[in-house]
Amino acid sequence: MQDNQQSYGLVTRVFHWGMAVLVFWQLLKFGDDIADGEHWVAKTLVPYHGSIGLVLMALVILRLLWVFTQRNVRRQQTSAGIMAKLGHYALYLLLVLVPLSAICLMLGRGFGLKAFGYQLVERGSTKSELLAALGSWHATLATLLAIMILGHIGFALWHHFVKRDGSMKKVW
Ligand code: HEM
Ligand code: HEM
């Protein structure tokens, strides 16, 4: 269950791969730009964007609490380890800011909040120019997250195939 000096434990792995799948699903929202969203991906997977995004918001909070409990059992003292750590912190920051900005966008524009058919916040009840302005960062932050993830995958593959230091085994 717990992480150790050599590898991540089951909980961290489930968080990692579960959230990775959901984040890739979320990035399909870029597909709205293709054929004005008139294709099967946009019609079948993308309509869950708000719901899955709210699930991710909850998951990232739980994951950060988990990471905090594991901070003393993980080992990363080398300079490369510190860079990796900074990269992971940046990913976490974006994983919080991306859904948070979306919530600001939905509330600020008075759209309310809905998850899997349940109305969590009524439409029109929370209109605010400030929230709408904060929310207008959502697409930019999501693009930044997508770039960071591409970099993260690139580094992971480089460690696995070029450096062959077994870092993929830590999380797989
Ligand atoms: C980790 C969670 C999330 C990710 C990775 C994500 C990702 C994205 C991406 C890639 C886009 C397309 C940007 C573009 O076309 O340039 C987008 C747009 C959008 N997302 Fe999210 N999103 C997340 C959470 C949410 C949540 C929780 C909501 C609503 C409650 C939401 C509502 C929207 C809306 C309304 C748009 C269209 C915004 C616009 O066109 O300005 N997203 N998101
Ligand atoms: C094909 C996709 C992916 C691959 C191959 C991959 C690979 C890895 C590897 C090898 C590590 C261990 C690095 C180390 O500590 O030495 C790791 C950790 C990590 N990855 Fe990924 N990753 C992928 C997708 C993602 C995505 C989409 C996210 C963001 C949602 C993400 C976020 C993280 C974070 C935050 C860590 C640090 C461990 C933790 O605190 O949970 N990864 N990844």
Question: Tens digit of pLDDT for each residue in 7-23?
Answer: 999 999 999 999 999 99
Please state, in angstroms and rounded to a whole number, the distance separating the CA atoms of residues 4 and 15. Answer: 16
Nearest CA-CA partner of 97 in 151, 48, 50, 140: 140
Q: Which atom of ligand 1 is nearest to the CA of 105?
A: 35
Q: Locate 172 and state its tokens.
A: 């797989």
88 lines ligand 2 (CB under 6 A): yes
What is the pLDDT at residue 20? 98
What pLDDT was estimated at residue 38?
A: 84
Rg (CA), the chain: 18
**Element holding 120 (H helix, E strand):** strand 118-121
Helix, strand and coil content of the chain, in percent to the nearest 5, comes to 75, 5, 25
Indicate the angle between helix axes 10-27 and 138-158, nearest 10 degrees. Answer: 130
User: Quick one: fold of 10-171?
Assistant: Fumarate Reductase Cytochrome B subunit (1.20.950)
**Predicted local confidence at residue 44, as pLDDT:** 86
Residue 125 alpha carbon to ligand 1 centre in Å: 21
Low-confidence ranges of the chain (pLDDT < 70): 76-77
**Residue whose CA lies nearest to ligand 1 atom number 27:** 53
